């Protein structure tokens, strides 16, 4: 099992550009989520999904879109990148939304100039 | 409203001694609290959890204590080792998942 994979590892964007951060898991987990980590701010939930076709907003959803067309994939889209979106992004999955541990990907370091 | 608080951003401990990391919460509704460990340039990894119906859970050198009346939990690491140096996050599990801001533990040889 590869676990949770994220691509790319690093990305530099210019303000206003769009891009998609990819996330995939091969553990057949229903629950997937996206977090951003900023210095002194911990891990903040952006969007999450409890199953294919179901997504919901987390703590900091503005500027990001998600979709969940399959159990395996949960891409995060930045429609018009802003410098405030410079961060490290982590994708995670778990078998249920309560109680079970989340498995995290290695992260994507995004810089918006 | 910060529902999960880790009030100590950093902690320094001597190798072999006990490390105690703390977490406070405001919402009494939860199923579990989980602790994760994060090394630089890696994703967090699960360490230990505790159910809302328990007050203690132990796994090797790691023990988590839950005090529901004080809305407080703590992670004890005994004995601390240099490889334990990392950022530790507590996470509340109930519906969506809320993390604290983390505590950076440094264990000095």
Torsion sign, CA atoms A110, A92, B3, B18: negative
A13 CA: distance to closest CA in chain B (Å) = 20
- Closest by CA to B8, choosing from B18, B19, B17, B21, is B21
Residues of B with CB under 8 A from a CB of A: 6, 9, 31-32, 34, 36, 41-46, 49, 51, 89, 91, 93-102
Mutation target vs A (from B31, B39, B44, B49; most A CBs, 10 A cutoff): B44
Averaged confidence pLDDT in chain B: 92
Q: What is the pLDDT of residue B2?
A: 66
Which distant-in-sequence residues (6+ apart) come within 8 Å of A86 by Cβ? A110, A111, A112
Residue B96 — pLDDT band, cuts 50, 70, 90? low
For residues B44 and B38, is the Cβ–Cβ distance under 8 A?
A: yes
Q: Which residue has the tokens 């498995």?
A: A103
**Pairwise CB contact (< 8 Å): B32 & A98:** yes
Q: How distant, in Å, are the alpha carbons of A24, A69, A71 from that of A3?
A: 8, 19, 13
Residue B84 is given by DSSP the state G
pLDDT in tens, B10-63: 999 999 999 999 999 987 777 789 999 999 989 999 999 999 899 999 999 999
Q: Does A61 touch chain B (CB under 8 A)?
A: no
Q: How distant, in Å, are the alpha carbons of A38, A100, B98, B107 from that of B92?
A: 19, 11, 5, 26
**Pairwise CB contact (< 8 Å): B43 & A92:** yes
Q: How distant, in Å, are the alpha carbons of A78, A110, A111, B91 from that of A12?
A: 13, 6, 5, 30
B80 CA: distance to closest CA in chain A (Å) = 23
pLDDT in tens, A22-34: 999 999 999 999 9
Count of Cβ atoms closer than 10 Å to residue A62 Cβ: 9
For residues B102 and B14, is the Cβ–Cβ distance under 8 A?
A: no
A55 CA: distance to closest CA in chain B (Å) = 11
Tokens of A67: 């979709």
Which ranges of chain A have pLDDT less than 70?
Answer: 97-99
Strand partners, A109: A10, A88
Q: What percent of chain B has pLDDT over 70?
A: 96
Which distant-in-sequence residues (6+ apart) come within 8 Å of A6 by Cβ? A21, A22, A23, A89, A90, A91, A105, A106, A107, A108
Contact list in A for residue B93 (CB cut-off 8 A) is 97-99
Residue B97: burial class (beta carbons within 10 Å; 0-12, 13-18, 19+): buried
Q: Is the peptide bond before A8 cis (omega within 30 degrees of 0)?
A: yes
Q: What is the pLDDT of residue B90?
A: 94
Q: Which residues of A1-39 are buried (b: 16+ CB within 10 A; e: fewer)?
A: eeebebeeeebebeeeeebebbbbbeeebbbbbbbbbee
Q: What percent of chain A has pLDDT over 70?
A: 97
Nearest C-alpha in B relative to A57:
B96
**Pairwise CB contact (< 8 Å): B91 & A45:** no
Tokens of B38: 């994060």
pLDDT in tens, A83-95: 999 999 999 999 8
């Amino acid at each position: 099992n590869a676990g949770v994979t994220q691509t790319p590892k690093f990305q530099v964007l210019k303000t206003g550009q769009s891009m998609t951060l990819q996330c995939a898991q091969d553990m057949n987990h229903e629950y997937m989520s996206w977090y951003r980590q900023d210095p002194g701010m911990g891990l903040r939930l952006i969007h999450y999904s409890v199953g294919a076709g179901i997504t919901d907003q987390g703590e900091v959803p503005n500027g990001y879109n998600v979709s969940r067309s399959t159990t395996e994939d949960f891409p995060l889209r930045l429609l018009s990148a802003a410098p405030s979106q410079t961060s490290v992004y982590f994708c995670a999955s778990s078998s249920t939304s309560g109680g079970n541990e989340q498995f995290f990907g290695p992260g994507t370091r995004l810089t918006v100039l | 409203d910060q529902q999960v608080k880790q009030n100590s951003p950093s902690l320094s401990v001597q190798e072999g001694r006990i490390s105690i990391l703390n977490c406070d919460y405001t919402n009494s509704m939860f199923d579990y609290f989980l602790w994760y460990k994060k090394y630089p340039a890696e994703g967090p990894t699960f360490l230990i959890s505790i159910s809302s119906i328990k007050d203690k859970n132990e796994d090797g050198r790691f023990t988590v204590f839950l005090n529901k009346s004080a809305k407080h939990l703590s992670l004890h690491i005994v004995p601390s080792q240099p490889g334990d140096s990392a950022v530790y996050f507590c996470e509340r599990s109930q519906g969506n998942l809320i993390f604290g801001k983390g505590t950076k533990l440094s264990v000095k040889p």
